[in-house]
Amino acid sequence: MESQMPRRLAAYDWDDLRFFLAVARTGTLRGGAESIQANHATVSRRLAAFENAVEARLFDRTKGGLRLTQLGEELLPHALRVEEEIAAASRVVAGRDARPAGPIYVSIPPFLALSSIVDDFAEFGRQFEDIDIHLQVSNAFADLERREADVSIRYAYEVIDDVVGRRLVRCSKAVYCSADYAVKIKDDGGDGLTWVGWNEAEGETTAPWVIKGPFPNARLRHRINEAVPQVTLAAAGAGLTYLPCFIGDRYPGLVRAPYQKPVPDRSLWLLLHSDLRKTARIRMFVDFLAHRIKSRKDEFVAGATQ
């Protein structure tokens, strides 16, 4: 966690960003100073010190004001986000979170971006206009541990971390393929067919899930360590693939392969740190999402027949 941070990070005084921002906004030293209740001489010095640390000019000084340089412009968005983050922090300490506002950082694996859950995000954003949803699309389970995300949505059998996990629904999976491909399937165990699967142990087609599945004779030819291209490949007619029903049923061009039934799969988990349970907007979001998803339980659990 430390080694990845540049050594020079410590060289900066984070408070300098506050001065930088004040000047960037007002365009003058005096105006910026007033906006943060400081002296313009102080602002000038802090700015000079910051520029010295950066070893570059952040503003062009002109009579009549300061204008951001190229580098200053590039720095501005970062400074703004720092400010937003600190504002969110101050809301936490002030307990003003009772009136929910601010950002929520949600970490999801890429394939969930193909699910109806994104609709829920949209709906939430509509109902709570003062809350911005930041989706962090990543497979890294670690986001939550490192506390970079407030909420994490995962698709897994169990959750072991020291986080608060709510199991939303136990999902089903089924074998999917393109509509064109489906007509080629006979009730013969998958002779001549192709699997699109994961990069697992090089057990050729002897992988247990192949043998135990409804199409043991199909060959595992496409091995991909990521769900999204599996979906797109299958939709393009490359072969059979196991997908959670709430993905496969939704993705255009995919149909459930005949001669099989959905089987139980992993669960959808809503994870957050126990310390965040109290903050209003996180609670709001978690409850909202849990309610919406559970109310569409059929979409995820997908019984024996569609």
Partner DNA sequence: ACATGTTGGTTCATTTTTGAACCACTGGAA
Partner DNA sequence: TTCCAGTGGTTCAAAAATGAACCAACATGT
Which residues between 242 and 261 bind a copy of itself (CB under 8 A)? Answer: 249-252
The CA distances from residue 100 to 111, 171, 213, in Å, are 29, 31, 48
Q: How far is the CB of 37 from a copy of itself (least distance, A)?
A: 6
The interface region with a copy of itself, picked from 103-111, 193-201, 205-213, 256-264 by CB under 8 A, is 103-111
**Contact pick of 45, 61, 67, 96 for a copy of itself (by CB under 8 A):** 96
Q: What are phi and psi of 172, to 5 degrees?
A: -115, 155
Residues 173-192 that bind a copy of itself (CB under 8 A): none
Residues 63-102 that bind DNA (CB under 7 A): 63-66
CA distance 249 to 74: 43
* 61 touching DNA, by CB under 7 A: yes
The interface region with DNA, picked from 30-38, 89-97, 156-164, 263-271 by CB under 7 A, is 30-38
* 162 touching a copy of itself, by CB under 8 A: no
Could you tell me which of 124, 123, 126, 146 has the C-alpha nearest to residue 136? 146
Residues 129-148 that bind a copy of itself (CB under 8 A): 132-138, 146-148
CB-neighbour burial class of residue 237 (10 A; exposed 0-12, middle 13-18, buried 19+)? middle
Number of residues that bind a copy of itself (CB under 8 A): 82
The CA distances from residue 206 to 17, 200, 201, 213, in Å, are 59, 11, 10, 11
* 296 touching DNA, by CB under 7 A: no
**CB proximity list for 261: less than 8 A, separation 6 or greater:** 174, 304, 305
* 70 touching a copy of itself, by CB under 8 A: yes
* 13 touching a copy of itself, by CB under 8 A: yes
Binding partner of residue 30 among DNA, a copy of itself, none, CB cut-off 5 to 8 Å per kind: DNA
CB-CB contact of 216 with 260 (8 Å): no
Strand partners, 123: none
**Contact pick of 41, 87, 98, 183 for a copy of itself (by CB under 8 A):** 87
Could you report how far apart the first and last alpha carbons of the chain are, in Å? 47
- Residues in contact with DNA by the rule CB under 7 A: 27-31, 38-42, 44-46, 49, 61-66
